[in-house]
């Protein structure tokens, strides 16, 4: 039996540069940075004081006020992005509930959960002792609530899974949603990721690891993937959700097909809890698996949406992995990092960047890597520096690599 082809029919996205796919795409293709000083807490004494926050987002604009108050910010972002994606796909959100609800499902990735609420509840416990705290603290904090709340708000009673694989969570969620569709267990899947972890504990912890940028006097120039002078990642927040269907079902209802999810690759470094395997073997294998899964040759791939975090180790290792996977063709590929504009959205990154890759193959435009000013001899590929580029590509890969060496590559092709 032939494996059903999976298509993307809707996108919902909230980032620091746009609150829907059109604004997001406009920001990416115009090289707009969403970085600014952190506004959520006093950053005095912190190594990094800049971030890519989703400014102007008010959950009450999309959800009933009482409902919004009972959800953590990462869940709010997930639910709002999911509802947006459903409408973008030409579906009535109400149509996913009722008798049809078991034929729809959700898989949302989140790396952290709600650290901000966790910190506040811990402070309350220390200050006031046992018996004081928010009665919904646990369901607000735990990471699976991004997927659970999407299902609750849309009335979806089919497969519902929360994925936690660090910074590859969103990509693994999309891959898992595709496999559920191919298995016949659902007809419509929402796959994506959400994160809102710009909190004192998180920013301090990443700062202590030495992985955050300290370019605090130049927020919009702080994230500079593959540039020689990169000094760490810019923490971000956001959500991205894709509506995914089997091609035959999407065509039967007359849906617009934005792109095909044609290949998936998933591997593990099995090397370190935080440092990528320096030879890039497993990361390269994820890319070659995705190409093979799509039934393509490596020379068919024209663009890679890189994980590209703006850390020394990641960007160097990803460049090595790309050259290992594609050989001489690596020097004919275009590679760019959305994180130069939207920062590192952690568990949402794989989904938000997958959405960008879908739009790349649909529109034939490659988003740039901004802030690329000084070449690094160890990063010697074409990183689409500073300005978007018109280029039709037959296939594009979105890479996501998480702490612990959890790798996922998604390959998209145009209709």
Would you please indicate which residues are annotated as catalytic (active-site) residues?
167, 307, 344
Length of the chain: 415
Query: Is residue 398 within 8 Å of residue 350, measured between CB atoms?
Result: yes
Pairing of strands 36-37, 50-51: antiparallel
Distance, CA of 42 to CA of 200 (rounded, Å): 8
Any idea what DSSP says for residue 52? B
DSSP string, 128-173: H-TT-S-TTHHHHHSTTHHHHHHHHHHT--S-EEEE-BTBTHHHHH
DSSP string, 224-289: -TTBTT--SBPBB-EEEEEEEEEHHHHHHTTPPP-EEEEEEEEEE--S-SSSPPTT-HHHHHHHHH
Strands (E), 291-362: 303-305, 334-336
DSSP helix/strand/coil, 51: strand
Query: Is residue 19 within 8 Å of residue 56, measured between CB atoms?
Result: yes
Cα distances (angstroms) measured from residue 344 to each of 133, 217, 233, 265: 31, 19, 6, 21
Sign of the torsion angle spanned by Cα atoms 169, 353, 320, 395 = positive
Give 129's Cβ-side CA count (13 Å radius): 0
DSSP helix/strand/coil, 334: strand
CA neighbor of 342 nearest in space, from 53, 111, 43: 53
Give 38's Cβ-side CA count (13 Å radius): 29
Distance, CA of 104 to CA of 97 (rounded, Å): 9
CA neighbor of 52 nearest in space, from 84, 85, 28: 28
């Amino acid at each position: 039996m032939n494996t059903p082809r999976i298509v993307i029919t809707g996108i919902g996205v909230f980032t620091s540069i746009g609150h829907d796919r059109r604004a997001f795409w406009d920001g990416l293709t115009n090289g707009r940075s969403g970085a600014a000083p952190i506004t959520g807490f006093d950053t005095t004494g912190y190594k990094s004081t800049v971030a890519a926050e989703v400014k102007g987002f008010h959950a009450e604009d999309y959800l009933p006020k009482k409902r919004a108050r009972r959800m953590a910010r990462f869940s709010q972002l997930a639910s709002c992005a999911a509802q947006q994606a459903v409408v973008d796909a030409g579906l009535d959100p109400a149509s996913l509930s009722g008798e049809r609800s078991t034929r729809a499902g959700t898989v949302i990735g989140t790396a952290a959960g709600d650290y901000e609420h966790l910190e506040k509840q811990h402070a309350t416990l220390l200050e006031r002792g046992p018996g004081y705290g928010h009665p919904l603290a646990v369901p607000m904090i735990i990471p699976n609530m991004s997927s659970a709340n999407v299902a609750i708000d849309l009335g979806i009673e089919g497969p519902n899974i929360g994925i936690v694989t660090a910074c590859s969570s969103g990509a693994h969620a999309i891959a898992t949603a595709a496999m559920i569709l191919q298995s016949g267990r659902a007809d419509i899947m929402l796959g994506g990721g959400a994160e809102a972890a710009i909190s004192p504990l998180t920013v301090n912890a990443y700062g202590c690891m030495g992985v955050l940028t300290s370019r605090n006097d130049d927020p919009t120039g702080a994230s500079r993937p593959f540039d020689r002078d990169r000094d760490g990642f810019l923490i971000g927040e956001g959500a991205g959700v894709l509506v995914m269907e089997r091609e035959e079902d999407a065509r039967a209802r007359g849906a617009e097909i934005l792109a095909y999810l044609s290949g998936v690759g998933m591997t593990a470094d099995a090397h370190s809890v935080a440092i990528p395997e320096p030879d890039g073997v497993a990361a390269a294998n994820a890319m070659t698996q995705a190409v093979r899964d799509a039934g393509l040759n490596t020379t068919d791939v024209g663009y890679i949406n890189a994980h590209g975090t703006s850390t020394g180790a990641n960007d160097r290792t990803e460049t090595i992995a790309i050259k290992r996977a594609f050989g001489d063709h690596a020097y004919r590929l275009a590679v760019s990092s959305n994180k130069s504009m939207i920062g590192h959205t952690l568990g949402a990154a794989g989904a938000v960047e997958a959405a960008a890759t879908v739009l790349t193959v649909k529109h034939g435009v490659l988003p740039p890597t901004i802030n690329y000013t000084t070449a690094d001899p160890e990063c010697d590929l074409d990183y689409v520096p500073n300005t978007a580029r018109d280029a039709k590509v037959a296939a594009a890969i979105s890479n996501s690599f998480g702490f612990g060496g959890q790798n996922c590559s998604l390959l998209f092709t145009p209709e």
